[in-house]
Every structure is written in structure tokens, then in C-alpha cells.
Amino acid sequence: MLSHLDAKGQPAMVNVGAKVVTHRVARAVAIVVLPPALATLLRDGDIATKKGPVFQTAILAGIMGAKKTSELIPLCHPLPLEDCKIQIESRPPAADGSTEVMITCTAETHAKTGVEMEALTGATIAALTLYDMGKAVSHDIVIKDVRLLEKTGGKSDIRTTPSA
């Protein structure tokens, strides 16, 4: 049975009242494929736009998104994030001139429930911000492989391997 459904199949918030507060960390990733025209502009580092520096703005947006996760996803518990980091790394250009950018969000708290939704939201919002800021150059931007890499501190720890 899904955790967010009651016995009658209706949406329900998971009761975490009996759980113990533990240190919880989650890390998620989103891959953004930049088309050649945009990749060329970003190849030597960040570029300034009317909306601000692209990567720096995406980092701020990702952190802001992680902090608002419970407002965006129904039934998600509001958590006091103690730390949230967004890292953006460009991979070497592909043969066609496109470049993959890996956005990693790490969220951390002491709480009764995990922070994987905050990490996933942070990575996704940062990726959407790259799309928003880059679409003036090209709409051929692709966001792919949004996934949880690891979570620790709860009933079960999870570690996966990033996509190649």
C-alpha cells in the first residue's frame, strides 16, 4: 500500500509522531543537456543575463525551492532545513557540441522524516532555472535523469549510482 493513502484509499499525511528525530541527509541529481549554442556561451564559466548570472541564479533558486518543498508537494511534511547545497558541474562537450550539466542538491536536517523530497525539489528547481535562463538562446534544452542518489538517517539508508 502507498504510504500517503489511508485504509479507504484516500490521500493522507503520514503520521510521524511516534518516530525519533535523527540526523537526515539526502542527495539528488538532475542532468541538464545544453544545446551547442548555449553550451558554447557557458563553456568558459558563468554568463550574466538580464536575470543575473545563470549558474549562481540556479543555485539560489534550487535552495529556495528546497526550502518550499512542503508548499509545492501535497502531504509533504514541512522540515527545518539545516543545510542545503547546490553544486553545478559541466561535463566535457559531446561530439555534437552539446554539454551535460550535473546539478546536485544535498539537503540536511534533524527531523522525524527524511529530506529526499527537498533534495529532489532543489535539484529540479535549479534545472528549471537553467532552462528558463537559457531558453532565450535555445529551447532545445533537455532536463533528464532527476533522481535520488542517497539518503541517510532514517529507517533505511539508500545509495544509488549516478547515471553515466
Kindly give the confidence (pLDDT) of every residue in the chain, 164 residues in length, as a single tens digit, with 9 standing for 90 and above.
667 777 777 777 777 767 889 999 999 999 999 999 998 887 766 676 677 789 999 999 999 999 999 999 988 999 999 999 999 999 988 999 999 999 999 999 999 988 999 999 999 999 999 999 999 899 999 999 999 999 999 777 777 765 54
Q: Given its phi and psi angles, is residue 75 left (phi above 0), alpha (psi -120 to 50 degrees) or beta?
A: left
* Residue 69 and residue 121 in contact, taking contact as beta carbons nearer than 8 Å: yes
Q: Quickly tell me which residue has 553515466 as its cell.
A: 164
Q: What is the CA radius of gyration of the chain?
A: 17
Check which CATH number belongs to the domain holding 143 and give it. Answer: 3.30.70.640
In a domain, 39, yes or no: yes
Residue 11, in any domain of the structure: no
Structurally, the chain folds into a number of domains equal to 1
Residue 9 is assigned to a structural domain of this protein: no
Helices (H) and strands (E) in the chain, counts: 4, 7
In the set 46, 132, 140, 145, the catalytic residue is: 132
All three cell numbers of 158:
539508500
DSSP result, 46-59: --EETTEEHHHHHH
- The secondary structure of residue 3, as a DSSP letter, is T
Q: Give residue 90's domain range.
A: 22-154
Does residue 132 have an active-site annotation?
yes
pTM above 0.85, yes or no: yes
Residue 67 maps to a domain: yes
Residue 159 forms part of a structural domain: no
